Structure 1
Amino acid sequence: MAPVLDPLFDDLKIEDLRQRPGSKWRVDPDVLPAWVADMDYPVAPVIADAIEHTVRRGDLGYPRWEDGHPLRHAFADRMRERYSWPVDVADVREHTDVVQAVQVLLHLGTSAGDAVAVHTPTYPPFHHTVGAMGRKRVDVPFLRTSESWAANITGLADAVATHDCRALLLVNPHNPTGRVLTRDELGEIAAIARRHDLLVISDEIHAELTFAPHEHVPFASIDADTAARTVTLTSASKAFNLAGLRCSVAHFGPRRLLAVRDAEPTELYGAVSTLAVEAAVAAWRHGGDWQQRLLHVLDRNRRLVAEAVASWAADPEPMPEATYLYWFAADALGLGDDPVAEVLARARVLLSGGPIFGEDGRRYLRLNYATSAAVLQAVLNRLRALTAP
């Protein structure tokens, strides 16, 4: 059955996409890219209008946010409205992106040689960051079950105790598997954090891309102890495709860590721009209708990918419960030890995957399905052709 099309998201022409200056489409002209986590869709009109209005009124001088940063208030309102999580704006700070925030937090909240627990497969910049900062990365593999991916609570508890971990880098919803951890699972992780006095850095950037009936639960909302040890990171960048504007927020539960952060020189970690803030605030305050249409299209697309994967795999991977990224085993496509390079060479499709996600990602691929139905079908057709006799 042909997919139901939405003109807002499906009227994309490959020749136009190839003219974009960003990294995703800067590939050879016969290659279809479905790798880096950028959506192909146009900017939401409310965001484009907010940026244009700011430029046209000449408001690009030094911003004055001392009386209350608009991004902090927009974030606090968003958390209350979406998740019934009360956030004090006094505990919110800005960073250029989530990766920078993770690096700042590891720098200020841990010491060289400290062990940091990380679920694998892992978003590659996080996988690299922990080791590059002189911390000991302790990998805790997600477990593939008959129906989904499990957070391996027992493995996490054992790893934290064995390696005397000082921090946990939690990614929920999880990139790349797309798992949305349940309140019960988060409660078990919170108990481990409490037992071992862990700093928890919770990356929740994909939260607003959660598909029903799954529900995102902010980790810091579990209980008072969890809140007091958790720094929550998020951004409008994934749900509204604004990564290039480089704007994220961090909510500090640990007051001592916030004080350490605020004692640093004011410009040491850079600052977010006026346009970035205008875009994020417009997204969170006025982008609801656009986002609902987006989620319908992404839900359709993940099902198209699921059908394709089921056509070539006897034991297909579960559909992601959030994100626009599909994680699946490469073996059923008849690929060797470097599946990303082989798919590129044989199918002329660029995906992510492999050992940059951790050792247990070596024989997996990650497909970004945030594109039009036509482009996605072309990608899937090329992948399916790899299985042809």
Structure 2
Amino acid sequence: MSGGQFDTINRERLRGGHGVKWGALQSDVLASWVADMDFGTPPAVRNAISEVVERHDLGYPFWRGEDPVIEAFEARMNSLHGWNPSPGRTRIYTDLIQVLQVMIEHSTAPGDGIAIHVPTYPPFLATIERSGRRIIPLPMVDVGGSWGFDPEGLTGRLRQENCRMLVLVNPQNPTGRVFTAGELASLARTSEELDLVVLSDEIHADLTFDDQRHIPFASLGKDAESRTITATSATKAFNIAGMRCAVAHVGPQSVWDALDSEPLDYFGQPSILSRVATVAAWTQSEPWLAQLKATLSANRQIIRLWTHDLPYEVKHYAPEATYLAWLDLSSAGVDQGDPAADLELRARVRLSQGAEFSQHTAIDTTAFVRINFATSKSNLLDILGRIRGATTRPAARAWSEKSCVF
């Protein structure tokens, strides 16, 4: 494979831009935290943006007929996942955090319980907490050498907790699990019995590995579709997070009616640039995505080999999707109160803090860190080498000096 822009990265370019991932760090610290990729964007996306700019076409958005973002979303769900979203039930938003906040306000009341698998995306936990709802954590646990959850007694527990919504992150962040048909079916049964609204965050669906198959929750049947708000975006898979464009397919009639009754401009709307970038990503960038996934798959293998080679045990299961690795460093030579902060100080690497992924719950993920491996092989080896050097006593030869054979 000719990786092109995936073979190397330009740290100077990354540090010199406006992105928080590299821009917020000191000049000698390597970034492996925020879920942005170090690569560029697909050529089709760049071309689409350039054409709009060259036309000076930066006014208020307008399209004759249906919004092209909605058309691209519906076509992609059909062609890749075998799900035909109901026409006329998709809305455009800026990002998935906005979608969650809007849907919480229009489908639950203060004090209601919202179930979500934990660890999970920190802004989702913060959003639920700030909205005055109660987080009902569904712990991700070790199930036969992988991350999973225990469905036993789930319906009864959620009933006791006055649960009104299930937030499903699938593929799951940070564990990288792709939930199976059986796991999703168990959640669908519970949702039907308790009449829950389901918000299904499927933003990483394009980033599955090997033979993993993403199953949209709304595709499980008529009842599932009628209660599910499917939220997704091109931002993660095509590296355009700053473009701020997401979609939400709204199944529940009561939620749709509530949204429809709000003033037209209440939610705002993405720009022309964000819309054309999203359409170009979803309709013209599959070759780029294929090369990206090959690069990410190789990097995932590097992390797997690295964890096996360490002189101490690291609990790590290779992710089935995403470009994020979830590692338990409780046996490493780091400060167990904040391993990520300790590694930034001693290894000069910024990782995501594990504790953030269980905030506002009783689940303890303090000993974990999340590594973003959407970077070049050489940069990833540098990151892993620095971590190893800082976590061994005495510091071992940097792992990046060793040969990697695939």
Pairwise same-fold verdict (TM > 0.5) = yes
- Classify the TM-score, shorter chain: over 0.9
SS in 2 for 1:189: helix
Distance in 2 (alpha carbons) for counterparts of 1:163 and 1:227: 24
TM-score by length of 2: 0.92
Matched, 1:201 2:206: no
CA separation in 1, counterparts of 2:294 and 2:364? 31
Q: RMSD of aligned C-alpha atoms?
A: 1.4
Q: Which amino acid aligns with 1:56?
A: E
Question: Does the 8 Å CA contact 2:42/2:285 hold for their aligned counterparts?
Answer: yes
**What corresponds to 1:347 in structure 2?**
347
Q: More helix by proportion, 1 or 2?
A: 1
| 1:211-290 matches, cutoff 5 A | 211-290=209-288
Aligned-residue offset at 1:98 = 0.3
Q: Matched residues in 2 for 1:326 and 1:5: separation?
A: 25
2:376 is aligned with 1:372 = yes
More deviation in 353-362 or 141-150? Answer: 353-362
- Structure 1 counterpart SS, 2:191: helix
Q: 2:108, 2:279 → 1: CA distance? A: 32
- Is this contact kept in 1: 2:313–2:332, CA < 8 A? no
The one-letter code of the counterpart of 1:228 is S
Query: Which stretch has the larger CA shift, 348-357 or 284-293?
Result: 348-357
Among all aligned residue pairs of Structure 1 and Structure 2, give the percentage whose two residues are the same amino acid.
Answer: 41
Which deviations, in whole Å up to 9, do the C-alpha atoms of 1:224-253 show, x marking residues without a partner?
Answer: 101100000000000001110100000011
Secondary structure (helix, strand or coil) at the match of 1:207 reads coil
Task: Write the distance in 2 (CA, Å) between the matches of 1:349 and 1:130.
Answer: 30
Q: Is the 8 A contact 1:24 1:33 kept in 2?
A: yes
Give the Cα–Cα distance (whole angstroms) in 1 for the partners of residues 123 and 64 of structure 2.
32
Q: Which position in structure 2 is the counterpart of 1:333? A: 332
> Take 1:274 and 1:159, find their aligned partners in 2: how far apart are those partners?
45
Once structures 1 and 2 are overlaid, which stretch shifts more, 164-173 or 18-27? Answer: 18-27
Partner of 2:8: 11
Residues 104-139 of structure 1 deviation map (CA, whole Å, 9 limit, x = unaligned): 000011001101111100110001111100001111
Please identify runs of 4+ aligned residues in structure 1 that moved more than 6 A. Answer: none
Give, as a single letter, the amino acid of the residue that structure 1 aligns with 2:376.
Answer: S
2:114–2:128 Cα contact (<8 Å) kept: yes
- Gapped runs of 5+ residues in structure 1? none
Alpha-carbon contact 2:314-2:327 (below 8 Å) kept: no
Letter in 1 for 2:233: S
CA displacement at 1:346 relative to structure 2 = 1.2
Please report how far the alpha carbon of residue 140 of structure 1 lies from its aligned counterpart in structure 2 after TM superposition.
1.2
* Whole-angstrom CA distance in 1 between matches of 2:99 and 2:189: 24
Q: Tell me how far apart the structure 1 counterparts of residues 153 and 29 of structure 2 sit (CA, whole Å).
A: 40
Q: In the alignment, which residue of structure 2 is the partner of 1:70?
A: 68
- What is the TM-score of this pair, normalised by structure 1? 0.96
Tell me which amino acid in the other structure corresponds to 1:23: V
Would the aligned equivalents of 1:101 and 1:250 in 2 still touch at CA under 8 Å? yes
* Residue range with higher mean Cα deviation, 374-383 or 252-261: 252-261
* Distance in structure 1 (CA, Å) of the matches to 2:153 and 2:309: 33
Aligned to 2:320: 321
- 1:4-42: CA deviations, max 9, x gaps? 872221221222322122100021011001000000101
Give CA deviations for 1:144-191 in whole Å, capped at 9, x if unaligned.
134200122226434312202000111000000000001111011100
The one-letter amino acid paired with 2:20 is S
